Amino acid sequence: MAVGGLSFELQKEEILALIGPNGAGKTTVFNCLSGFLPADEGEIYLEGRQLGGLQPFQICQLGMARTFQIVKPFLTISVLDNVMVGALAREKSTATAKQKSIEIIDFVGLSAWTGKEAQGLPLPLRKRLELARALATQPKILLLDEVMAGLNPTEVDELIALLKEINRRGVSIFLIEHVMRGVMALSRRVIVINYGVKIAEGSPEEVVRDKQVIEAYLGKEFLDAQG
Ligand SMILES: Nc1ncnc2c1ncn2[C@@H]1O[C@H](COP(=O)(O)OP(=O)(O)O)[C@@H](O)[C@H]1O
Ligand SMILES: [Mg+2]
């Protein structure tokens, strides 16, 4: 069983983090929430509405968008067209979808790449494209699966600022992240899972001092480095 008996709430306009070792079941949680994998048991609600049995595109239309840990752009079409695919999930008019996509591409800092094929983007920029595509669907909740992986410290800082701004505009964020600096800077609450089971939940400061979390995931070195 990849994930079992996991229960939690994401508050409106909150930033909640999900952390834990590789293989703990984090991405599986996202797959269940976003409809990519049907959960065998349990219930998922978005603003009181049951999501069980809905397809990913339906869940997206209800306001939950995700990024993929292994980025999945359409390689041979432009950055603009990639983002427009997301925008057209919400907008009927192609002209409006295009306008909104251009704004979002600018917002995530990809303007110079608008007309370029997605396959020309280095990984850090593909991560931004992934974010832009999800944002283009105008989500209420954004699920971010390791968007900081492989970024240098400056790029992490830029992304932290960007995510704070997205949240300030009213989007709730649920993020899976190994980059603890990002987790500490962004989240108000953190859930820690190991072997598909919740082992801790609390403020970032609380969970990083939790004995079980240190043993299962962070390591004593992390705490020593924090002072
Ligand atoms: N489609 C799948 N079928 C079977 N097992 C899977 C599948 N996807 C992931 N797993 C397994 O489920 C566990 C949790 O995986 P995952 O959710 O990707 O972990 P994490 O994102 O925390 O690294 C791992 O043991 C993984 O090998
Ligand atoms: Mg994962």
Query: What's the confidence (pLDDT) of residue 192?
Result: 97
Residue 68 CB neighbours (<10 A): 20
Q: Amino acid identity, residue 130?
A: E
The contacts of residue 122 (CB under 8 Å, 6+ apart) are none
Å from CA of 195 to ligand 1 middle: 10
Query: What's the confidence (pLDDT) of residue 227?
Result: 61
Angle at 193 between CA 187 and CA 160, to 5 degrees: 25
- The boundaries of every CATH 3.40.50.300 domain in the chain are 1-63+139-227
pLDDT of the chain along its 227 residues, tens only?
999 999 999 999 999 999 999 999 999 999 999 999 999 999 999 999 999 999 999 999 999 999 999 998 999 999 999 999 999 999 999 999 999 999 999 999 999 999 999 999 999 999 999 999 999 999 999 999 999 999 999 999 999 999 999 999 999 999 999 999 999 999 999 999 999 999 999 999 999 999 999 999 998 778 777 76
- The CA-atom distances, in angstroms, between 135 and each of 78, 101, 106, 118 are 17, 9, 12, 17
- The CA-atom distances, in angstroms, between 222 and each of 9, 179, 218 are 27, 12, 6
CB 154 near ligand 1, within 6 Å: no
| Closest atom, ligand 1, to C-alpha of 30 | 17
Sign of the CA dihedral with 26 first, then 170, 153, and 226 last: negative
Angle at 73 between CA 72 and CA 76, to 5 degrees: 135
CB 194 near ligand 1, within 6 Å: no
Query: What's the confidence (pLDDT) of residue 223?
Result: 74
CB 19 near ligand 1, within 6 Å: no
Query: What's the confidence (pLDDT) of residue 72?
Result: 87
DSSP 62-113: HTEEE--SS----TTSBHHHHHHHHHTTT-S-HHHHHHHHHHHHHHTT-GGG
Instruction: Report yes or no: 159 and 151 within 8 Å, Cβ to Cβ.
Output: yes
Q: What is the pTM of this model?
A: 0.94
Query: What's the confidence (pLDDT) of residue 7?
Result: 97
Ligand nearest to the CA of 38: 1
CB 26 near ligand 1, within 6 Å: yes
Ligand nearest to the CA of 20: 1
Helices (H) and strands (E) in the chain, counts: 10, 8
The encoded tokens of residue 201 equal 């939940």
CB 22 near ligand 1, within 6 Å: yes
Ligand nearest to the CA of 70: 2
What is the crossing angle of helices 153-168 and 123-136, to 10°? 10
Specify the CATH number of the domain 1-63+139-227.
3.40.50.300
For 149, the 3-state DSSP assignment is coil
What element of type H or E holds 199?
A: strand 197-202
CB 24 near ligand 1, within 6 Å: yes
Q: Amino acid identity, residue 107?
A: F
Å from CA of 24 to ligand 2 middle: 8
